Structure 1
């Protein structure tokens, strides 16, 4: 058992009102340098360029996920405590590993989150496990619960922990991670369609032999959660302007890598803390990774506005001063003309490798369990009044309508200048050719 605090500590939180810290272990984990680093990693990356309130960080989300896990496991302990070894109910001895895994589930996220992962081939879940089990303050704190406790927490993150109830509370189609970030992101972006009745959902959760189930009385609350998630992806996470900023960020960091391979001096281009990121074939150590955060990259990007390479300087200025690329959807009409559009951008003096991009935004709002899939999803399971079990889409016509339907938005990005129209336009014919294909962010096939 973990040591209890003499007096409960609370953190004020705009989503859950209070984060209740009752265990010394949780407080010690929050106070580690690795966890405090999450204050310097934005939850939504560059989304604040579109939704100006979205400056919340991974720290707030992580303690929020912990609080939800704490409330749910307390509820399970009160109403569904196991009485026999095979009754499939909640074992209170699983509470600590559950709330710790919820607290630490995002500790391995890098600067700018998924943009960083894509460009530098890192994986935040793998890094989270490495931080938990490696030579870190977090590992030292976890060791206080026993030498194998860090491995247990890492197993929850890896989804290999033997108790499916614990794994599904942390990672499933309805888990503490998703419930917190949807409400938190909706609050900070001002997107009311991301809200749902979380209290009702948590009170209809039940532990079962195969994992987490839900009482049928909570079906409409869960249905609302699925629709809220669907809307948040379409309206916030897939927003074309924030993706236009992500493209610029990815291209400017890629340009740094390119310049280093062309012989530019690393000491002139990147500060020592950033140097390991750009070393060819170098695998970042945990210690190197943990020194990276959004602030470090922002300071570097700010300085690159004055770098002698015109492409890097220009892209850095566009990013710092919020000048996103424009875009059009790639569809059956526009796809045959993408190469032509790239050529026109090149004719206007822009290197297509750095000033155009094809970007995909993909999400599957809900799907049922398919054991033959490479990464099968844990379905949302309901318990009916007669004790039988039904999968969510079998009891919700609304969810059935979107089940298995992927939200996919493919876009072609290009400099806004390609749509310029004025007397000083140096590429009037080029721009006229471009505008003949694009109007109001939409591809126009015309007679082409």
Structure 2
């Protein structure tokens, strides 16, 4: 039988010898060896990990014109590795690396332009650098280019091109690309719908450790997309996603517990002493003092996308109690009266009889407006994106969304908004610029 310890020692000795060779060449001024030496110090390969020395050798490599060194120096400044975090310096070194043809630097430069990090936000430049990176074979650049085409960032929206670039990224092993390719197959984005392929790509992404892929794989198992329905596997993948920091995964775990999905019911004794947020044992009520969960009664809209967007608002750490959305049972809306008609739907007034105490305390009223959406028995993805944007920009709107409901007779969905007294919200917001007042009117009545 082969001696495993002997092989491990040989590997360690080889790495130490390799480190000594890099050190000798680096001290002689070889910029490529300086980059390799910086990598050894950063990762602790053949030597003790030392981020300050990693930074110093990346700096010497970068100043010597080594484009990989310039990229890694940008990373040090971006993350504060061995030096003080400085996004403007990170941008400067990514720019030099990108202009030198380094595909990693090009991808990072595109990301900085897309998000306005260390420079002015410029989506057209972001697209340009993602394209260069993608064409250079960088798989993260290919994924990000696909995202630009899917969302129309810095270029014309083109779902077929988005699909093609996600495919290249996924086949190259990029975990986000695999997840996004799965989304394309599931939701028919730029390709023919194929739930089995969606499942397979989510599985690859999930097994690679991508939290988004793990969450989407959990969803496949929960409802049986491209595979046999399996609530236990759904729960386990949601748990992995949540442990990886993905908010959708965290809200899914909370949803399983709060609604006592059958897997949680069967395993209640095993799970009841485990905090669903931080995994500490011997806790009460599934949570500990360090994991504050919003107390929300058991609910479901019956629509996965609607549940997800409501859960997203409920898991937002920055949202106040009166800002989060709820699923509102239509039977709890009384004295429903017709007000007006708009191109997007009809407007109604109602009384929310079991309005949460914190919402009533803030608005001093249980009167609400229902914006019923025409032909909304099936909610579109575009509308859900608008809802998400509304929540993310909630501080700017004087007509906050309180929740979502569904007419029990027509099955049309309705947005539940705050009711403005005296029937004229514009008169109460004369300080708003006219453009915002017009937008608010359109948001209430529709186009």
TM-score calculated relative to the size of structure 2: 0.25
